[in-house]
Structures are given as structure tokens and as C-alpha cells.
Structure 1
Amino acid sequence: MTIQTNPNDTNSPSEMSNFFNNVLKRFILIYSVVATLFIAFLFYIYQEYNQNLETSLLNQEETFVSSTTQAIQKEMQIQLMVMQMNTKFKFLADFMEDDNQTTRQALQTHFSNLALTFYRYDQIRFIDLTGRERIRVNYKNNATYIVSEAELQNKSHSTYFKEGIKLAPGKVYVSPMELNVEYGKIEIPYKPVVRFVTPVVDNKGNKIGLIVLNYLATELLQNFRDQMELRIRGQGMLIDPQGYWISNHDRANEWGNSLDQVEQKFVDQYPEAWQAIQQNKQGILKTSQGIFRYKAIDPFSLDSIGSYEVEQKIKLTISEQSKENNNWKLVVFLPNETIQKESFFCSREGKIIIVFFFISLAVIIFLLLIISEEKRRQNNYDLFIKDELNDLYENSPCGYHSLDSKGRVLKMNQTELNWLGYTRKEVIGRSFTDFLTSKSTQVFEEFLKSLPLNKKIEGVVLEIQCKKGNTFFVSTSATSILEQGNFVIARTSAFNITDRIELENRLAYIANTDVLTEISNRRHFFTLANEKFASEEALSLLMLDIDHFKKVNDLYGHDAGDDVLKYIASILQQALPTKAILARLGGEEFAVLLSGLDAKKTLQLAEKICVKIAATPIVINPKLTINVTISIGTSQRDNHKDDIGDLLKRADITLYEAKTTGRNKAI
């Protein structure tokens, strides 16, 4: 600062002394007043800044809280769907009705396929009403192991059996998450498991046993820890209803509910916070140790993932005890040290600036600089908030777009543009139907038509077509905006649910397909056949049986027998008309439903199949080749009152005749 002196002033020593004395007096007076005001102002700013800083840090943790809740609920939803699917399989009732090699092997194969498909189940068991394990398949290192009968255990003493046996059909018991115990000892390395238990009933509705799925939670917890390390500045943890840690930044504190050497609970380390966290579903709590953001996970709720349609398909009901067992709390803890580390006022630079401001002789300049700095910082803060909100909109995990009353795109965020593969310029102004498949176009038009009446619509599933031609599914929700009573804008969110749709299709494939031969199974065959019999077209049936198949298994082993079954299925698929319905009914028995063929042409086709299979050697391995023959029984739809059962009975009779008159023939 340059001080310009008045040229009329004298430069005598006395005048200079008076000048500086006056300046000093004014300086002391002004400095005292300004310093007092500034201290009061600085304290207020400090309080506001700290509050804003804490809010900002907590807002950064909300993404972690939301994504973790959604991931856990989605994972539990999948387990309930798998549980429900398994209660419908006939293998269980067949096994309890007749425990033989065939029914036992069928159930073991089903459990093995289930474990290999989902790779989440450490154990899959069928336990009878006495608590004895009848079938058990273990999964480890990407392979399944069928437990021998000698190693099967009695689990009647276990809590999950006692709770499961009390359940009515359609109910599910879910155990607390705990470390797995085998033969009375905790398994090493530790295996955190959640057991899903539901009754199985026979055709008469009588309870015949329990299905128990040991869901291995190792991957779920590791994903939680990975997200905790990558995305949050605080300490993320999961605690069970008793206050024991399921996951903690200090791994030594985990599994106090299972390990005798771990006695510490959440309340021991955070006594001020425990009561509020235990009693409330969610909230923010500030204590002398720091700030806690907590939320009840409620893993069996589907409210965070927009799964209304899937929820309607899950008919199993979770028991109240199960909900109490798994009333987990997600807690994010921001210690005071973390908050202070982020605070400008607690930083070394901040302290230096504050001291400098107070010792500065240029109080007025200093005050102006502070005002200027505060304005600049406020402008930067406003710009930061604006950029953050824009970034949140543009890069949200879900898509957002706005449409006018005619369905034309007014605005679309970057996430949805990335999904579509278009630039913003290519999208704005175009009808949203340009990005839909033909099947979804009609759904969207009805959705747009009803939006002004309902004002808000949720859970509409649409299939989106990208620029490159690939498609994906979204669940959309929209809110209408009215001006003077007229619909002008629809603001819409879209969640990508392609994984959910693919899972549903995959489960349908598993339910309808014979896993070994990859053709239709018995249940699916009857479903397709009944649809055919609803028409009046000519229908005929082939029932095929591999001759002396037991000898193949006895001589070459069941693996060779499986190869023969797969090879026969492959030959049949090549030899049959494209509209034929081919299925494996069980064992070495196949069935084919044909349309548009009379009895003569049906028999001719069957004879050609016999000849082709007999003439085709089956290569098991370079050192082993097997030749097999088949016998075929045929039947024809005589009148429109016939059903699939009638044709099967008649074909079974002709098959028996072919078997008893020499085999390797069709009748």
C-alpha cells in the first residue's frame, strides 16, 4: 500500500509524531472494534462451515448407503426366487416317495446344477422330517461334491431345523448370518453363511421335508468392504441385531456372535451411539466421537430396486423370526479426526492465515480482503454446488429424460445417452418411440396417454433399442407437469433392469430344460403338448427307448451313458421336422410329438430314425466307440377327444411290442 502525503503538510518531527500518535490511537480503537466483530463473525462462519462440511461429507456417503442397500436387497431377492423355484420341482416328491438310485441321482444332479449355476451356495440339502440329511451337495472351488450317505448328518438339534419344521408351506425361515459350523466346530477358513429353509410338500399338500440352502456371504461382504475402501472417507460397517459386527474396518472385531475370543460389540466401542442406532431405522447422529449415518437394511424388502413385477412373482413369505434375525444396520462413521482433516480451519494453512489476519496492521485492507475472499469463496461454492447437481443429474446410476406432451425428447442425461450410444444433438427433438422396439412402442404410447390423468406412473417396463442395434430393458417412472391444467412436460427416470430380465429368462430355461441333453424336460413337454391338442390338426407320437441301456451303464459307466443320451438327443434333433416337439421323459426314454403326419408317414419317419441311430457309432473317447439301437412305439390321434395321455398309452403299448419282438425297430 502506498501512502500519498499532502504536499501542504509539514515534515517537522513534532507533526510527524502527532500524526503517528493519532494513527496509533485510531488503529487501537478501530482494531479493537474490528477484531471483536471479526472474532464473533469468524466464530459464526466456523459453525456454519463445519455444519456445511459435515453435510457435504454425509452427502458423499449417501451413494454408498443407497448402493449397498440395493445390492443386499437384490441379492436376497435372488435367493428367494431360487428358493421358490426349487419348491416346485417334482424331484423331491419322487425321491421321498421312492428312494432309489434313479430318484436320488436325479435330485443330486439337480442340486449340483443349481450350485454350479449360481455359485453362491456352500451347501444345498434336503432334510427329512426327523432332521436327517437325505441329500447333500457341497460346493467348493467351482466344483460340487455329493456327500455320501455315510457322511450325512442329523441336524435335528440345529436352530434352523427347529424353526424350519414349524413353518407352514409357503413360508421361509432365514437364519442369522453366522460362521458355518461342521461337526460342532467352526469351519476354517471362516465361511459366513445365511441359511434359507422352506418346507416341501407332496402332491397332497403334506409336508415331506425341508430344503436348506446355505448362502455363502463371503463375496457379498467382500464387495461391501471393497466399496467401503473405494468410495467413503469414513468407516463403513454392518452390525447384526445384537450389535455384533458382521463387517468392520478392523477385521479382528468381526463375528463376535460366533467366536468366543471376540467379545467386543458396537456398544463397547461407541456407547453414545448404540441406543439411537438400535431403536431407530435410520438417521444421522452426532456424538463426541464423530458423526454416524445409519440405516436399517431390511434385506427382504424390494423397495430400493424397483422390482414390483418380481415381487408379485415371489409367493414365499418370510417368517417374522427371519426378519428379526437379519435386521442388519448399515453404519457409516465419520470420526472427528476425519472431519477436522477436511476442515480448512483445522489445517496448518488456515491457522497461519487467521494469525496473519489478526496481526496485520492494515485492518481495513485486511477486512476488505476478507470480504472479497468470502465473496470469491461463496461464488466458487455456488459454482461447485451447481456443478455437483449437474454432475449428479448427468452421471446418475439411472437415466433421466424430459418429454413434451407429444413424447418428444426435451432433455436427457449423459447416463441414458451412454446407454443409447447417441449424442445429445442426435436425441433432442426426436420422438422417444424412435428409441423403442416395436413391442414397447405401444406400451409407451399407452403410458404417455394415461400420464396426464394419473400424474405419476411407476414401474413401466420398456425395451430400448440402441444406436448399434442392441437392446436392453428399463423400468421407467414418470411425473407429469401441468400448466393451467394442461399436460406440458413429463419428467422420467429409467433404471436398467436387463440383469433382472436375463435372470428370469435363465430361471425359465432351467425349469423347462433337461440339463443333460438340453432338450425339453417332461414338464415342459406336457405343457407344449397340451397347447397342440387345443387345435384340431393331425397329431402323432413317437415314444423311443434305448435298447439295453443298462448294459451301457454297467459296462462303460454312467459318464458313457450320459454321452449316449446326449448323442441320441442330437441325432433326433437333426432327423426330426423343425416343428416337432422333442423331450426326454426320464432315464433313456424320449418322446416326440409330430403334427401333419398320418400313421404311414409317422412310421416311415420312425423307421428312418432307427436305421440312422443303428448305423451311427457313438465316439465316447479316442479308445471307445459304442453302437446302440433304439425301439420306437408310435401312436396316432384318432379323434379330437384324445389327449396327450391317450397317445402316450398307445405308444407305450407299441413300444413294448417293438421291445418284445426283437428291438431295433419301430411299430
Structure 2
Amino acid sequence: MPLRRLHTRLLLAVSIPLILVSTTLLPVLHVHMETRLNSLNDEANALLTVGQEALTRDINESLNYALAIAEMPELRRYLAAQNLTTLTNEQYSLSDLSQLSHFLTTLISHNARYTKLVLIDNQGREVLRAPRSSETGALVSGNLHVNTDYFIEASKLLPRDLYISPPGRNLQFELFGRDVIPVVNVSTPVFDATGERRGVVLLSLNWDYLTDALRQAMLLDQNANMILIDAQGKWLLDEGIGSVDTASFGGNFAALSPLYWQAMQQRNEGNVTVDNHLLRFQTEDIRTQRYRSLAGTIFSDNAYQPWKLGVTLPRPTWQSLFKEETTVLWFLLLTYGDAVAFGIFWAFSSQRQRELRQAAQRHAYEVSDLYENAPCGYHSLDKSGRVVKMNRTELAWLGYSAKEVIGHIDYRELITPETRDQFEKAFQNVKDNQTGSAECSLLTRNGEQRHVMIQASAYTRNGGFVHSRATVFDLTERKQLEEKLRAQAMTDPLTGVFNR
């Protein structure tokens, strides 16, 4: 019996601390997991923002560059000369042509974002190319671009409009010996000073260069993968930074990664979990979103727009969490008492934090309720006098809703014309951190007047004016009583005849 009792005590001595540690450890691990997931979401958002902003900046600069080239006077004059059927004083000399070709070749050769620049006349003939195939090669090529999408679409555009082809390995009229790299053709029409169409400027953008910012963003986290696909589900990045199951640029992402493709097709943006990875994505449309730059209207092939830009990060698992916390886990298992004390302390502190948050929320609600339903009116105005905040009491006096007033109405418009000068004089120095007060009349929505006393002061932050804050007291009943007493004092109570 004593041995059996000893075994029972030993069992309880082992099992009870183990149960206590386990029940304490599980909530801690759960909260830790939630924290890790929240941190992962923040990291995914940050990476996506960095990549998107860099891609936007590079595309904007590229489009502005194309517009600037199209408006070069020498280029316009050269294209105008190509459209002349007879020799005139405007004929372009070989010396001028050589200088223009050398200038454009230098311009393109020293800018890594471009692979070539081509000038095309109104008949679709290539009349100038940069860079040249060789130093001794012909300045003008005989290539015909009349059937290409970039020439056909650009020929329909107005000045400062742009056409952007879908990213692809476009080998048409590329120089021999160049690496086969993905490009994006950007074309824009060229008009002379009289508004006559002279031709088309074509710039081929190095797509690898434009997406290099996405590669740089991925360096912030070695576990992150960036996704960029078009509306057809084709992969728009190189294989070095591809997500799962993506072979190379132009690969069929929709077929190779159907779960990711389906998740991204369901919404324009969001966070989803796919194959134990967090996927954060958003829609990017070069025709409408942020890529306008200095261009008038941007056109592209609707079948390939919009793009989807995303980032994936591996989600933490319980197994990975235990591996990372091995030291702490073994320490807790070997020291039951300390582990239990730590868990209880955490539980009480967590409960206390929740209580403090709840108390803070209740306090914030009470303060908000006191502000909104106070017996007097409250409002705040920006530097220009526009309403940025107004409580329900004053809105009820005026007969307006918050949506109609806040951000839309200048408070001076609510003051009657008779008292508007008095209002502006009293509060003209509030911006300089001076207080002011005045009796004014407010004009309600139904045309009635409310007599009020307004007292205002400035709210500043770091020494700078943020907005004014004013308290409004309704004097309507007092004014009505004063008028009634004044009338009684001036007339006989029985006959109603004036005393004097």
C-alpha cells in the first residue's frame, strides 16, 4: 500500500505540473502565433508597397522620357523632312542626320532601361534607329512597321497619348547579337508645331530593368517571393525571383499554380493563405492607376490588363515555432515551477491589459458621447474656415447631417449676413493662438435663425496651427425672452398701446 501510494504521489507530482505547464503554455504559444501572423501580414504589406512604388516610379520615368523625346524639335524636323516628296529648304542634311543619330544612340546606349529607339514615318517605314547596328552601318533602316500593334495603335492617338504593348520577348526588328530579353514597346505619335502628324516614336523598354526594383524588395526577406502576372495568367518576371512552380518569363502561371491564380482572380486585392503561404496581392492597371505621369491617355491591349502584383511569405507552423523556441521549451519542461509561475503571471498581465483596453474603450466612448450629445455645440475649423468636426447637438440645431457639413461647408456660410462681420472680426486672430468670442446668429436649414455665443481657441501641435475648436451656446430662448420683456416694457399690458 505505501508503495502504491508513493506511485500515486509521484504520478500526481509529474502529471499535475505537466498539465499546468501545458495549459499555461498553449495560450502563450497561441498568442505568439497570432503575433507572428500579424507581423507577417505587416511585412507582406511593406514588401508589396516597396515593390509597387518602385515599379510605378520607373514606369512613370520611362513614359515621361518617351514623351520628351517625341517633342524634340530636331526629331520633329527630321520626320517632317522624311514626309516631303520634293527637295526644299527643309530637307534634312546628312550632317544633321548623323548628329541626330549619334545623339540618340548615345542617349539610348547610356540608359539601361531602353533597348532601342526607332523613328517611324506616317507610312510605317523605319527612318532612324538608335543604337545603330555598327559605327559604319546605315543610319536609316528599311524595316516596315506598318503591321505592328505599336504603329497601328499610335497612329490613332492624340498628342501626348501613349500606347504600351504587353511585356514579351519581342524579337521583331531587334539588332542581331543582342541578348533576347523581355521588352515593353512604348509608342507615341509625333506632331509638328502646326498639329500635323509626322510619325511615331517607338521606345523598347528593358523589362528586366523595370522589374529590378522588385528583386531589390525581395532582398529585404530571403523567404519572400514576388508575383507579377497579366490578365491571361502569364508570368511577367524572370525565373530568378519567381514564385512556386513558375519556370520563366511568359510561363503559364495559371496552369502551373492554379491555387494562386484562382485566389487572385476572385478579388482585386487582399490577403489569402495558399499552400501554407501568405499571399498578399493587389491589382495594377497601367491604363488607370498611378501610371498617368505626364501622359494624356495611356492605351494598351485590354486582353492583358490589368496585372496582378503580389508577394508570398511562408506562414509559421507549430513545428517551426517549436524549433525556434527549443531552448525555452526545454527550460520550461525541466523547471515546472518557474514555467507555471511565468504562465500565471502572463495570464494575469494579459487579463489586466484586456481590462485596461476595455476601460480605455469605455472612457473613449463616454468622452465621445459627452462631446456628441453635450447641451452646447462643438465644432472645429481648418485654416480656411471649413468645418472638420461638429457634434450632434450643433448639427441638430442647424438641421444638417454630418456628411453634408463636415468637409463641405465653410462655417461663415452658416452665419447670417448681419452678424458675419462681427464673427470674422472676433475670430480673425485665432490662427495666431489667440482666443475669441462673439454673439452671432446661425442660419438653419429651414431658414430660421439661432442666436448663439461662440467661444473659440486654437489647437496646435509642435507650435503649428492644426484647427480651431469652438464651443457654441444657444442664446435663442434668452433672446426671445429679452424681446418679450422689451415688448412688455414698451406697451400697455391691457390695451397693447405703446407707453410713449
Q: Taking structure 1 as the reference length, what is the TM-score of the superposition?
A: 0.45
Q: How many residue pairs align between the two structures?
A: 359
In structure 2, the residue matched to 1:273 is: 260
Q: Quick one: structure 1 residues 186 and 54, their matched pair in 2 at CA, closer, same or farther if it must change by over 3 Å?
A: farther
Whole-angstrom CA distance in 2 between matches of 1:450 and 1:367: 55
Query: What residue number does 2:32 align with?
Result: 49
- The 1-side partners of 2:74 and 2:123 are apart by 20
Q: Who is 2:169 aligned against? A: 179
Asked if the contact 1:200/1:208 (under 8 Å) is kept, the reply is yes
| Of 181, 187, 201, the match for 1:197 | 187
Write the distance in 2 (CA, Å) between the matches of 1:250 and 1:186: 28
For residue 190 of structure 1, give the secondary structure of its aligned residue in structure 2: coil
- Contact kept? 2:226, 2:241, Cα under 8 Å: no
The alpha-carbon deviation at position 49 of structure 1 amounts to 2.9
The aligned residue for residue 308 of structure 2 is: 329
Relative distance call for 1:191 and 1:90 in structure 2 (3 A) is same
Partner of 1:487: 459
CA–CA separation in structure 2 for the residues paired with 1:255 and 1:282: 24
Q: Deviations over 1:44-83 (max 9, x none)?
A: 5444433321221232233322221111111111122222
Q: Tell me the secondary structure at the aligned position of residue 332 of structure 1.
A: strand
C-alpha separation between the residues in 2 aligned to 1:108 and 1:202?
A: 19
CA deviations on 1:605-634 (whole Å, 9 max, x unpaired) are xxxxxxxxxxxxxxxxxxxxxxxxxxxxxx
- In structure 2, C-alpha distance between the alignment counterparts of 1:169 and 1:137, rounded to whole Å: 23
Structure 2 letter corresponding to 1:201 = F
Take 2:59 and 2:8, find their aligned partners in 1: how far apart are those partners? 79
Instruction: State the partner residue of 1:290.
Output: 277
Which string of whole-angstrom CA distances, capped at 9 and with x for unpartnered residues, describes residues 153-204 of structure 1?
1122322222222323332101112223045899762322111111112343
SS at match of 1:245: coil
Return the offset for 1:293. Answer: 1.3
Q: Per the alignment, in what secondary structure is the counterpart of residue 83 of structure 1?
A: helix
* Residue equivalent to 1:31: 16
- Counterpart in the other structure of 2:147: 157
- Root-mean-square deviation over aligned CA pairs: 4.5
Query: 1:131: which partner in 2?
Result: 124
Are the counterparts in 1 of residues 24 and 343 from structure 2 also a CA contact under 8 Å?
Answer: no
Q: Does 1:233 align with 2:223?
A: yes
In structure 2, relative to structure 1, the CA distance for the partners of 1:219 and 1:341 (3 Å cut) is: farther
Say whether the 8 Å CA contact 1:236–1:249 is kept in structure 2: no
| Separation (CA, whole Å) in 2 of partners of 1:82 and 1:286 | 40
Deviations along 1:524-549, one digit per CA (max 9) or x if unpaired, are xxxxxxxxxxxxxxxxxxxxxxxxxx
Change in CA separation of 1:203 and 1:333 when aligned onto 2, cut-off 3 Å: same
Which 5+ residue runs of structure 1 have no aligned equivalent?
1-13, 258-262, 305-309, 380-448, 457-480, 493-667
1:359-398 to structure 2, matched below 5 A, reads: 366-372=339-345
Residue 50 (structure 2) pairs with residue 67 (structure 1): yes
Letter in 2 for 1:353: W
When residues 174 and 94 of structure 1 are mapped into structure 2, their CA distance, relative to the original with a 3 A threshold, is: same
How far residue 368 of structure 1 moved from its aligned partner, in angstroms, is: 2.3
Change (3 A) 1:174 1:147: farther
Aligned AA for 1:292?
L
Give yes or no for contact 2:286–2:298 (8 Å, CA) kept in 1.
Answer: no
- Residue in 1 that maps onto 2:77: 94
| CA distance 1:340–1:207, shift in 2 (3 Å) | same
Going from structure 1 to structure 2, the CA distance change for 1:324 and 1:451 (only over 3 Å counts) comes to farther
1:205–1:160 Cα change, 3 Å:
same
User: Residues 171 and 198 of structure 1 are in contact (CA less than 8 Å); yes or no, is this contact kept in structure 2?
Assistant: yes
Partner of residue 661, structure 1: none
The 5 A counterparts of 1:12-23 are: 20=6, 23=9
- In the other structure, the counterpart of 1:58 is 41
Which letter does structure 2 place at the counterpart of 1:128?
Answer: D
Between the two structures, name the one with larger relative contact order (CA 8 Å, sep ≥ 6).
2
Distance 1:112 1:185 in 2: 13
The one-letter code of the counterpart of 2:16 is Y
| C-alpha separation in 2, matches of 1:173 and 1:146 | 32
SS at match of 2:145: coil
Listed one character per residue, the Cα deviations across residues 268-302 of structure 1 (whole Å, up to 9, x for unaligned) are: 34322212313433211112332111123445677
Residues 184, 490 of structure 1: alpha-carbon distance in 2 compared, 3 angstrom cutoff:
same
TM-score (norm 2): 0.59
> Percent identity of the aligned residues?
19
SS in 1 for 2:158: coil
